[in-house]
Structure 1
């Protein structure tokens, strides 16, 4: 879910709720050079400019806490999060960079500090620095507007890529001005999502995600979105989720509903027949040992989080 909401003081605030997916991420190492000036900070690969800014800000913060002069160094990044698709690749790099710099100083920065530095580095960030609880997060301010509950309902997601998987230049997208009617609509979705999390209601959560996705299409305008929504209805998914900015999407399934495997297989075939490539199947709950270690695990990601599934789930390979 993404939109404009009211904060505790009643002020409008852009916010989002992220769908977590385990299995992908960024790793960073930072080697300080105390003989180099602060501006002599190199990053590899060289195009990770947001991560470089984050590292420079983290050096300034850590040096201040250690009461040492700032210095330069070398930041190295590796990772497997696709770039430009709305999967949080830049935030992943930025947070890895901040934590690597802090580690080089022997420090562990708290989530609030990491969020503050991440927003300064990339203007808006995902709440990847927080724990696994679903939160309504002010991505441009780096603060939590509401903790929605202990965990998302159990979900199975069939991920896919719209637009042929081409990256989306989010900075070129038009900025929509939200009025009071929009804010009231998003606050209603917030109330429903809070209820879905509290009751573990995968159907209600799917309805919220779909409603938010439809509103987001006013800016993103993916030509395949109506087809995706129709496939969702046809195969018995609870709804559709869209990247906050980008081309990745997912169809949401309730693992407790009958015929899960058939529904998922039918979904993958329907996506393929409409020229929408399915990417991966993942869950918001730990899968059974057989699923993790057996042949069905191909293309299936284990989720983060401590929850156990309501029953062992078999998913088709992809």
Structure 2
């Protein structure tokens, strides 16, 4: 084994653009999502081997990251290999912004980097799902994918990046922490499931043509479908304020607390509109934060 530290980094996200039930190639319905990557949010992991036969992690609360490191070692290294794993992250916890997935992916990458191994993305995702039951698609930084997050399967690779989006982030219930894994999966009715079919088609078209406004409409529709499962207080008001300042839509963390007011990053008026919407949100009692593409 190499006598050096292994390092890994993974980004967080700002919830989802779409989340629901979608048909795979065999017409089986799978829970899947498209995350909205947020490159300002990152988790960094550092792994050093030790004489121990297990992995110790700091902070100690990062149990999923520790589990991911041990699973990676079990898969690629000799039995009995242990080490020290250190996680540094600026991703808020319990907001639905991918904090645990980023920790898990960064940890897997740190162990692989230590062992000087390049693993296929599908193998990395299988380890990630084993470590935390469900994970997000933040491993795929450049190309948008429809990802079955409880199975670690890419259902559709759109072969293009998402159109650039600027975002105003609003934590609708900052006093509440959502445990993603304890949160019961949405039970969609037949009409909602049928609605996901055209939304998937519109999503595909929006990505293919880099149409941010269409993407915003898709995200808003998904947010509205999922509103009955985990309501976001103030969503109507946020959407109304967005309409006054040419926002292209809203998106939410479907198993979290944040709402994102979306703007086309290529619109020359976007900075002015974002400033206006931010002031209006503050006047309404919200505490917005801005994430630029």
Normalising by structure 1, what TM-score? 0.82
Matched, 1:121 2:131: yes
Structure 2 CA distance for partners of 1:104 and 1:235, relative to 1, 3 Å: same
**Equivalent residues of 1:165, 1:247 under 8 A apart:** no
Matched, 1:201 2:218: no
**Uncovered stretches (5+) of structure 1, i.e. residues with no partner:** 284-318
**Alpha-carbon shift at residue 260 of structure 1 (Å):** 2.5
**Alpha-carbon shift at residue 76 of structure 1 (Å):** 1.1
Correspondent of 1:36 among 52, 55, 58: 52
Query: 1 or 2, which has the higher helix percentage?
Result: 1
Partner of 1:252: 262
Partner of 1:57: 71
Which digits, 9 at most, give the CA deviation of each residue in 1:9-33, with x for residues without a partner?
1100000001111122111111222
Structure 2 CA distance for partners of 1:120 and 1:26, relative to 1, 3 Å: same
Partner of 1:23: 40
Match of 1:95, SS? helix
Which digits, 9 at most, give the CA deviation of each residue in 1:42-96, with x for residues without a partner?
1111011111111110110112xxxx32322211111211111111110110011
Match of 1:170, SS? coil
Structure 2 CA distance for partners of 1:192 and 1:243, relative to 1, 3 Å: same
**Alpha-carbon shift at residue 172 of structure 1 (Å):** 4.2
Matched, 1:134 2:117: no
Match of 1:25, SS? strand
Larger Rg, first or second structure (1 or 2): 1
Where do residues 147-162 of structure 1 align in structure 2 (5 Å cutoff)?
147-162=157-172
**Uncovered stretches (5+) of structure 2, i.e. residues with no partner:** 1-17
Normalising by structure 2, what TM-score? 0.89
Match of 2:254, SS? coil
How far apart, in 2, do the equivalents of 1:180 and 1:262 lie?
42
Partner of 1:48: 62
Q: CA RMSD in A?
A: 1.7
Partner of 1:6: 23
Which moved further from structure 2: 111-120 or 78-87? 78-87
Matched, 1:186 2:203: no
Partner of 1:103: 113
How far apart, in 2, do the equivalents of 1:165 and 1:86 lie?
14
**Equivalent residues of 2:44, 2:89 under 8 A apart:** yes
Q: Which structure is higher in RCO with an 8 Å CA cutoff and minimum separation 6? A: 2
Query: 1 or 2, which has the higher strand percentage?
Result: 2
Structure 2 CA distance for partners of 1:262 and 1:102, relative to 1, 3 Å: closer
Matched, 1:112 2:125: no
**Alpha-carbon shift at residue 36 of structure 1 (Å):** 2.7
Where do residues 170-181 of structure 1 align in structure 2 (5 Å cutoff)?
170-181=180-191
Matched, 1:69 2:76: no
**Alpha-carbon shift at residue 279 of structure 1 (Å):** 1.3
Divergent runs of 4+, >4 A: none
